[in-house]
Amino acid sequence: PYRLWNLDVFEYEHDSEITLYGAVPLIKVHRTGSTVGVFWLNSAETWVDVEKEQTKLDIKRDTTTNTHWISEAGIMDLFIFLGPTSKEIFSSFATLVGTNTIPPLFSSAYHQCRWNYVSQEDLLGVVHNFDKFEIPLDVIWLDIEYVEEHKYFIWNKKAFPEPLKMINKLESTGQKLVTILDPQIKLTMDLYVYKEAVDLGLLCKLPDGSEYEGWCWTGSSSWTTFFVSYS
């Protein structure tokens, strides 16, 4: 079965049933002259079986597709969109869950990203080679190693001594830089972002009121709660 449970999966295999970063539990069923959509809304871990089987002899098609949905817990809301076309299905779905903010034009162009460009010189060298070989490049990304000791919002000045100069150089040729930010915050009072989050009560808590502590490549980490309106 396909697993719907948002995780950071490294080296995802093509056409795999394992989970990914996001899940959209919307299924569209189509036949000549009719289309129906079903949206399974549940926040718990969910599994979806997709099976094909032989149909009865009086049905023209050789196979039919069945799906079985299982959620581990929680409230289940089921939304059915009657169509009759795919356009109406997705329009109704967008009305229900909301639409995306219109992205900037450059975001639809070519982006270059990898883990990881190790220095300012390394990144600018990659950009130079794109230009040298006449490969269009609009956006280049910096992964997690651009920050100091995985403390987000603080540049690693040894590897990237002049970040503003680097950004301005890219801007001068119409190119953009994206710096990755992950949701976890390194748990250390040496990081001003963590200290401010503690002072403002913006971090996730356990039932006993203590701060939730998890582990990531940042080391011991905390996460911001978005149930606080001013977070």
Domain-wise residue ranges, the chain: 2-97, 105-179, 184-223
Angle at alpha carbon of residue 89, lines to 72 and 17, rounded to 5°: 40
pLDDT by position in tens, the chain (length 231): 899 998 877 777 888 888 888 889 999 998 888 999 999 999 999 999 998 877 666 666 666 889 999 999 989 999 999 989 999 999 999 999 999 888 899 999 999 999 889 999 999 999 999 999 999 999 999 999 999 999 999 999 999 999 999 999 999 999 999 999 998 999 999 999 999 999 999 999 999 999 999 998 899 999 999 888 887
Distance CA 193, CA 153 (A): 8
Residue 140 sits at φ, ψ, to 5 deg, of: -125, 140
pTM of the model: 0.71
Q: What tens digit of pLDDT does each residue of 42-79 get? A: 999 999 999 887 766 666 666 688 999 999 998 999 99
Q: Are 36 and 59 in contact (CB under 8 A)?
A: no
Instruction: State the alpha helices, DSSP H only, in 73-162.
Output: 86-97, 120-132
Please provide the size of the chain in residues. Answer: 231
